Amino acid sequence: MIKVSVVGAKGRMGRHVVDAVNGAADMQLALALDAGDDLTRITPENTDVAVEFTVPSVTLDNVLTLIAQGVDVVVGTTGWTDERLDQVREALAKAPREGQKAFIAPNFAISAVLADYFSTQAAKYFESVEVIELHHPNKVDAPSGTAIHTAQGIAAARKAAGLPAVPDATETDGGSRGQSVDGIQVHAVRLRGLNAHEEVLFGNAGEQLTIRADSFDRGSFMPGVLLAARKLASDAPAGLTVGLANFLDL
C-alpha cells in the first residue's frame, strides 16, 4: 500500500485527490491537511508520497518544506517558473533522504498529455496544421497554456524536419485566422458548458488527422495524479521530473 498525504485537501482539486486515493486499491490516505495545518506532521514514517494542490503563492514553500521533511511530492499547483523549478532541484540535491523525488506537471489529464505528445510526433508528416482550444467562458487568458505548448512543440518538430511554413493564401482577414504561435495558428473558443478541450488538425492533400483531448471535469486529472504517485513510489528517477509525458511509456 502506498501511503499518500494530501496538502490542500479542502480545495477544489484536493477534495478530488482525497476521494481518488480512498478509491484506489493500492493506496491509503495518510494525512489530509489544508491551510493552517502544520506540514511537518507529514514524515517518511507516515507518508510515501505527498500530493500538493494549493495556490501559486504558497506552493513553493510547501514543496520545500515537504522535501526537507524527507517526503516525495507530486505537485499539481500551477505557476511554476524556471527559477522556482531550480529551487526545487537544489532542495532535492541536499534533501535528508537519499534518492528523494519530486514531480511537477502543468496538466495531469492523460488525454491532454497524449494529445500534446502525439501532435509533436505527427507534426513533420503534414503540410498544414492548426490548433483549436475550447474552454468555459470564465477563463481569463487566451489561448490556453496547453495550446501554446502544443503549438510550440509542433513548430519545433516541423523546423527540425526542415518543413517550410504552412500554406496560407489569406489576403483579407479581420482577425478570424487566430494567433500565430511560432508560425502555427491557434484559435480559442469560449463556450458555456465546456471545461477544457484541445483539438489539433493536420492536413495533407486528400487527408486529415485530428487529435482531440476533452477534459470534462476536474476528475479527469485524477488518473494522472495517481499514476504520478505510483511512479514516485516505485521506479521514478531521483530528483525533479517535470511533465506527465515522462511517466508514460511512449
Q: Closest distance between a copy of itself and the C-beta of residue 106, in Å?
A: 16
77 labelled binding-site residue? yes
12 labelled binding-site residue? yes
Site for a copy of itself in 16-55 (CB under 8 A): none
Whether 135 is a known active-site residue: answer yes
Question: Is 105 near a copy of itself (CB under 8 A)?
Answer: no
> Could you give phi then psi for residue 44, rounded to 5 degrees?
-60, -25
At residue 53, the 3 state secondary structure works out as: coil
Stretch that binds a copy of itself, among 33-41, 55-63, 94-102, 121-129 (CB under 8 A): 121-129
Q: Closest distance between a copy of itself and the C-beta of residue 134, in Å?
A: 8
Contact between 116 and 149 under an 8 Å Cβ cutoff? The reply is: yes
Contact between 91 and 44 under an 8 Å Cβ cutoff? The reply is: no
Q: What angle is formed at CA 112 by the lines to CA 108 and CA 116, rounded to 5 degrees?
A: 120
Whether 197 is a known active-site residue: answer no
Site for a copy of itself in 164-223 (CB under 8 A): 166-180, 185-194, 201-223
User: Exposure pattern of 38-70 as b/e (b: 16+ CB <10 Å)?
Assistant: ebeebeeeebbbbbbbbeeeebbebbbbbbebb
Q: Closest distance between a copy of itself and the C-beta of residue 192, in Å?
A: 4
Nearer residue to a copy of itself within complex by CB, 41 or 212:
212
Nearer residue to a copy of itself within complex by CB, 43 or 195:
195
Is the preceding omega at residue 137 within 30 degrees of 0, hence cis?
Answer: no
* Catalytic sites, residue numbers: 135, 139
